[in-house]
Amino acid sequence: MLDSRLTKLADVLVNYSTQVQPGDHVLIEAIEIDTPLIKELVKAVHQAGGHAHVNLQDHSVQRQLLLYGDAMQFKTWAEIDQFRMEKMQAFILIEGGNNINELSDVPDEQMKLFASFAKTVRQVRLQKKWVYLRYPNPAVAQLANKSTEAFEKFFFDVCTMDYAKMAKAMLPLKELMEKTDRVKIIGSGTELAFSIKGIPAVLGAGEKNIPDGEVFTCPVRESVNGVITFNTPSPYQGFTFENVRLEFANGKIVNATANDTKRLEGILDTDEGARYIGEFAIGVNPFIREPMKDILFDEKIDGSFHFTPGQCYDDASNGNNSNIHWDMVMIQRPEYGGGEIWFDDRLVRKDGRFVLPELEPLNPENLR
């Protein structure tokens, strides 16, 4: 029997997130997920008057391709993906997977080589109507320390929440961020200062990610100074980093440590832009409270923010260019050590709660 929650989720993805219009070509890219959601998405796209295209992937097969591929193969792979993406008006990416560490033993040089070609495809995708989501399965439930049934309930609650209400509550924060010059962040092992002057702030309320719940902008590239110590696990390229500490001078990461400092340094040496920040975002999703080693969820955690080495987004750009984009999350609720965010010497959020009256609608009890 079809789970009616999948039909509702497909409706959100097609009619709210990507707003499929008659005649739109929509690529549905599914990585290791069951087919019922794919079928519901195809149906929803056609009901909206669009044309559905489906690409099925497997992480274990991708691992083999990455292990044994060379520059010519990766270049051709990227050219094919780019050609197809250029024909689309919308892109829906659903990622499942039974093992988040499937790519952990692919050599760094292979990952960097592939990333150098795949970057162009990513840039084309970002020009389309797109949305990305994870898919509930036992592996993801295990990461969240929940039973499969409990995680499925959590997943559908957070993925089909009232994102229009969230978007409305976010507007005052967007406006405040766009008026702000200096940002100061204080927390455990953290004292960071930077400018966001002149850079747009963008709402993340279900249009690009599901789940969603962030307002993001970007630091002025050379303005970041100080130190930050992240208090959540940070998976990247198939490895989970812990206790990541970054030290900045004039925008650049000049010192970095973690549970595998050598691996961390290798990623930050991918290119020049990897040592500069491409995003600063404040997380506000009231249903997401604890880290689960899945960045799509973790970067939206209530009372968190994330700071991102690497590529900036075009709609909130500081000009930084890189083959990586690595969202690292810090939670500032009291049980995680607390912390403060200041805009132009004005306290905006303390211990994960907004303190300005116009921002109080973003506190969790008002968004649920």
Q: How far apart (Å, rounded) are the C-alpha atoms in residues 331 and 242?
A: 14
Query: If we measure between CA atoms, which residue out of 193, 224, 222 comes closest to residue 342?
Result: 193
Token digits of residue 78: 């990227």
Residue type, 281: A
Q: How far apart (Å, rounded) are the C-alpha atoms in residues 352 and 368?
A: 16
Residue 18: CA count within 13 A, CB half-sphere: 34
Token digits of residue 268: 């930050």
SS3 340: strand
pLDDT higher than threshold 80 for residue 98 = no
Say what angle helices 148-159 and 4-11 make with each other, to 10 degrees. 30
What class does CATH assign to 4-159?
A: alpha beta
pLDDT higher than threshold 90 for residue 87 = yes
**CATH 3.40.1830.10 residue ranges for the chain:** 4-159
Residue 192, CA distances (Å) to 160, 233, 276, 312, 358 in order: 35, 20, 14, 19, 25
Q: How far apart (Å, rounded) are the C-alpha atoms in residues 217 and 341?
A: 14
Question: Is the backbone of residue 40 left (phi > 0), alpha (psi -120 to 50) or beta?
Answer: alpha
pLDDT for 268 equals: 97
pLDDT for 145 equals: 85
Q: How far apart (Å, rounded) are the C-alpha atoms in residues 338 and 152?
A: 30
Q: How far apart (Å, rounded) are the C-alpha atoms in residues 339 and 332?
A: 5
Model confidence pLDDT, tens digit, residues 123-140? 899 899 999 998 888 888
Helix (H) or strand (E) holding 329: strand 328-331
Model confidence pLDDT, tens digit, residues 148-183? 899 889 988 888 889 999 999 999 999 999 999 999
If you average pLDDT over residues 50-65, what whole number do you get?
95
Residue 254, CA distances (Å) to 123, 246, 247, 365 in order: 28, 8, 6, 40
Q: Return all residues near 251 (Cβ < 8 A) that are at least 6 apart.
A: 194, 219, 220, 221, 222, 223, 224, 225, 276, 277
**Phi and psi torsions of 307, nearest 5°:** -130, 130
**Phi and psi torsions of 330, nearest 5°:** -125, 130
Q: Given pLDDT bands bounded at 50, 70 and 90, which one contains residue 241?
A: very high
Q: How far apart (Å, rounded) are the C-alpha atoms in residues 95 and 70?
A: 25
Q: Given pLDDT bands bounded at 50, 70 and 90, which one contains residue 1?
A: low
Q: How far apart (Å, rounded) are the C-alpha atoms in residues 265 and 258?
A: 9
Determine the distance from the C-alpha atom of residue 167 to the mean position of all C-alpha atoms in its chain, rounded to a whole number. Answer: 17
Residue 105, CA distances (Å) to 67, 109, 115 in order: 9, 11, 16
Q: How far apart (Å, rounded) are the C-alpha atoms in residues 216 and 220?
A: 13
pTM: 0.83
Q: Given pLDDT bands bounded at 50, 70 and 90, which one contains residue 276?
A: very high
SS3 114: helix
Model confidence pLDDT, tens digit, residues 216-232? 999 999 999 999 999 99
339 forms beta bridges with 187
pLDDT for 97 equals: 76
